[in-house]
């Protein structure tokens, strides 16, 4: 019986005929049959438009015992009044004029909505067994005062920020905020620029993209100067608002925070370095020794036919006078001889730096620290190679 009733409830919005039937049944149960009068029939058309609040009411109100019945009834009445009022809008006046007749109608309507406990005990269709305890947690929605939301008729909307009418409102706001912060924290102790934590600030393009505004380069550079000044406040004294404001100007990826992973020296005393050049990749295991080299299982002379390539390969050791201090065991693959030799330079120098970090400046001077990023240039359409044009022929 219950299940069927709830199923009917769900079908409420389907058609007015069903709803009428249901309502009639409900009122019959509550002993209100005498009120199903011609009035009701006459106003059935009006009620068709009200099916949304009906459902609202049905889902919100759950009568459980007879003790709460009175309280519930008053709540429902007031709510129903407001809803109908809101829906009627400008018809409020006529309602007042209409007097008792219309009020009676409303009352009648709300009364009809009060369904018997058997019908309303289920909220909706469910496959789970719903206990009474579940319903106790559900609270009624608070009172909604629609009058408070209504603006006075003479009011005019005013933007929150005065920058609203400028070309770059969001940027201007943040710029002003920065200025204000600087003005207020100007007297805090600053540290020298060399000691300041390095930060990559947003560049112009990024800030434009981030704010979606055509920020001017000159404005942004001025703003950045202030930002940098704020940033140089002593870190222990730096106020929270300043930190927050500066966060917005930092780039999402902070390159300076990258810390190179140190190359460990394993229990056999080996350090492995990886080097790349062109399309070659080299791994070199460097260990203290007497200057023996093995590359891909071959000697240096076996691996590289050109003396120049051999010199390139061990250049890191040679430039630092460590030729007879270390042994090298390396694997190289990809690319040609030059690429492999120069990949080895980098690999050996990295492994060497793991043994002796103090050699880094010397190795940098020898050109063994920076990876050469040059690669084969791609071929272009209309060209024979990357840049070579076909022979010019006059027609």
Partner 1 sequence: MSAPNCLRCLTRPSTAVLRHSIAVPNAVASWTASAPFSTTATAAAGPTKGARPTSQPKRMETGHIRSGRRVTISKSKHRKQAGARGKTPLPGERKAYRKKIQLSNSNALHVHWLSDLDAKHMLDAANVTKVMGLPDALVDQLRAVEAFKPKQTWGFFRKPSTLIRPETVDLVTRMQQAATDKQTLKLVLDGDKLTGKSILMLQAMSHAFFNEWIVIHIPEAQELTTAVTEYAPIPGTDPVQYMQQNYALKLIQNIRKANEKVLVRMATAYSHPEIPQQMPIGSSLMQLANSAKEPENAWTIFMALWKELTANTRGRVPILFALDGLSHIMKVSDYRSPAFELIHSHDLALVRLFTDCLGGNISLPYGGAILAATTRNNVQRSLSMELAIAQREAEQLGAEKPLRQAYIRGYDHRVEAAMRAAQVIKVKGINKLEARSLMEYWAASGVLRTTVDELSVSEKWMLSGNGVLGEMERASLLTMRI
Nearest distance in Å: CB 344, partner 1:
13
Instruction: Decide whether 104 or 302 has the Cβ nearer to partner 1.
Output: 302
By the rule CB under 8 A, 162 interacts with partner 1? no
| The one among 9, 233, 242, 293 contacting partner 1 by CB under 8 A | 293
The CA distance from 13 to 324, in Å, is 93
Judge whether 303 and 341 are in contact, CB under 8 Å. no
Those residues with Cβ within 8 angstroms of residue 98's Cβ, 6 or more apart along the chain or in another chain: none
* Contact between 341 and 309 (Cβ < 8 Å): yes
One DSSP character per residue, 335-376 reads S-HHHHHHHHHHHHHHHHHHH-GGGHHHHHHTT-SS-----P
| Nearest residue (CB) to partner 1, 242 versus 300 | 300
Stretch that binds partner 1, among 55-63, 91-99, 129-137, 320-328 (CB under 8 A): 320-328
Q: Is 278 in the site for partner 1 (CB under 8 A)?
A: no
Site residue total, partner 1 (CB under 8 A) = 20
Give the pairing of strands 293-295 and 326-333: parallel
Paired tokens of 352? 């060497």
Tokens of 273: 């370095």
Q: Does 323 bind partner 1 (CB under 8 A)?
A: yes
292 binds partner 1 (CB under 8 A): yes
Closest approach of partner 1 to the CB of residue 284, in Å: 14
Contact segment (CB under 8 A) with partner 1 among 10-18, 158-166, 230-238, 298-306 equals 298-306
Distance between CA 389 and CA 373 in Å, rounded? 25
- Residue closer to partner 1 by CB (options 104, 305) is 305
Footprint of partner 1 on 226-255 (CB under 8 A): none
When the beta carbons of 2 and 299 are compared against partner 1, the nearer one is 299
Q: Rule CB under 8 A: say whether 225 interacts with partner 1.
A: no
If binding is defined by CB under 8 A, does position 300 make contact with partner 1? yes
Q: Which of 235, 299, 336, 383 binds partner 1 (CB under 8 A)?
A: 299
- The reply to whether 321 sits near partner 1 by the rule CB under 8 A is yes
* 324 interacts with partner 1 by CB under 8 A: yes
Q: Where are the alpha helices (DSSP H) in the chain?
A: 2-10, 16-30, 38-42, 44-48, 51-60, 69-88, 92-98, 100-113, 117-120, 132-136, 146-149, 169-184, 204-211, 217-231, 240-247, 300-303, 307-313, 315-319, 337-355, 360-365
Smallest distance from partner 1 to CB 289, Å:
11
Q: Interface with partner 1 includes 154 (CB under 8 A)?
A: no
Alpha-carbon distance 242 to 307, whole Å? 60
Q: Does 318 bind partner 1 (CB under 8 A)?
A: yes
CA-closest candidate to residue 5, choices 29, 39, 37, 31? 29
Say if strands 271-277 and 293-295 run parallel, antiparallel, or are unpaired. Answer: unpaired
CB of 213 to partner 1, least distance (A): 57
Q: Which stretch binds partner 1 (CB under 8 A): 76-84, 245-253, 297-305, 343-351?
A: 297-305
Structure-token match 């981030």, residue found: 210
**Considering beta carbons, is residue 264 or 297 the nearer one to partner 1?**
297
Using the rule CB under 8 A, which residue among 162, 269, 302, 357 binds partner 1? 302
311, 331, 338, 356: which one contacts partner 1 (CB under 8 A)?
Answer: 311
Rule CB under 8 A: is residue 291 a binding residue for partner 1? yes
Are the C-beta atoms of residues 80 and 106 closer than 8 Å to each other?
A: yes
Judge contact between 105 and 39, C-beta under 8 A.
Answer: yes
Residue 314 interacts with partner 1 (CB under 8 A): yes or no: yes
Which residue, 310 or 355, has its beta carbon nearer to partner 1?
A: 310
Helix, strand or coil, per DSSP, at residue 77: helix
Rg of the chain in Å (alpha carbons): 41
Contacts of partner 1 in 355-394 (CB under 8 A): 394
The angle subtended at Cα 344 by Cα 342 and Cα 350, nearest 5°, is: 110
262 is an interface residue for partner 1 by CB under 8 A: no
**43 versus 294: smaller Cβ distance to partner 1:** 294
* Binding residues for partner 1 (CB under 8 A): 290-293, 298-302, 307, 310-311, 314, 317-318, 321, 323-324, 394-395
């Amino acid at each position: 019986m219950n299940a069927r009733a709830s199923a009917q409830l769900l079908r409420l919005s389907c058609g007015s005929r069903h709803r009428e039937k249901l309502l009639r049944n409900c009122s019959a149960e509550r002993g209100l049959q005498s009120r199903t009068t011609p009035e009701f029939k006459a106003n059935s058309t009006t009620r068709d438009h009200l099916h949304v609040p009906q459902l609202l009411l049905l889902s919100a109100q759950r009568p459980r015992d007879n003790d709460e019945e009175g309280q519930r009834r008053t709540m429902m009445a007031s709510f129903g009044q407001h809803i109908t009022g809101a829906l009627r809008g400008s018809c409020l006046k006529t309602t007042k004029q209409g007097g008792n007749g219309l009020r009676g109608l409303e009352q009648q309507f709300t009364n009809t909505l009060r369904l018997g406990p058997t019908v309303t005990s289920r909220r909706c269709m469910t496959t789970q067994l719903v206990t009474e305890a579940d319903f106790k947690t559900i609270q009624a929605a608070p009172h909604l005062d629609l009058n408070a939301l209504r603006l006075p008729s003479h009011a005019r909307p005013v933007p929150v920020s005065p920058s609203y009418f400028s070309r770059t409102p969001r940027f201007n706001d943040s710029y002003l905020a920065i200025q204000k912060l600087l003005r207020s924290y100007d007297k805090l102790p600053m540290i020298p620029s060399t000691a300041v934590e390095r930060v990559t600030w947003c560049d112009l393009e990024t800030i434009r993209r981030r704010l979606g505004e055509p920020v001017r380069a000159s404005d942004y550079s001025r703003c950045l100067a202030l930002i940098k000044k704020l940033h140089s406040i002593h870190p222990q004294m730096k106020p929270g608002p300043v930190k927050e404001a500066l966060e917005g100007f930092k780039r999402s990826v902070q390159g300076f925070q990258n810390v190179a992973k140190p190359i460990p020296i394993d229990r056999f005393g080996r350090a492995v370095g990886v080097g790349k050049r062109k399309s070659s990749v080299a791994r070199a295991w460097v260990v203290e020794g007497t200057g023996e080299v093995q590359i891909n299982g071959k000697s240096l002379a076996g691996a590289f036919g050109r003396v120049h390539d051999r010199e390139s390969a061990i250049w890191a050791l040679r430039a630092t006078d460590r030729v007879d201090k270390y042994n090298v065991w390396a694997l190289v693959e990809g690319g040609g001889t030059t690429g492999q030799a120069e990949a080895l330079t980098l690999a050996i120098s990295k492994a060497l730096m793991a043994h002796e970090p103090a050699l880094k400046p010397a190795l940098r001077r020898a050109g063994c620290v920076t990876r050469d990023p040059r690669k084969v240039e791609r071929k272009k359409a209309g060209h024979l190679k990357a840049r070579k044009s076909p022979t010019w022929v006059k027609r």
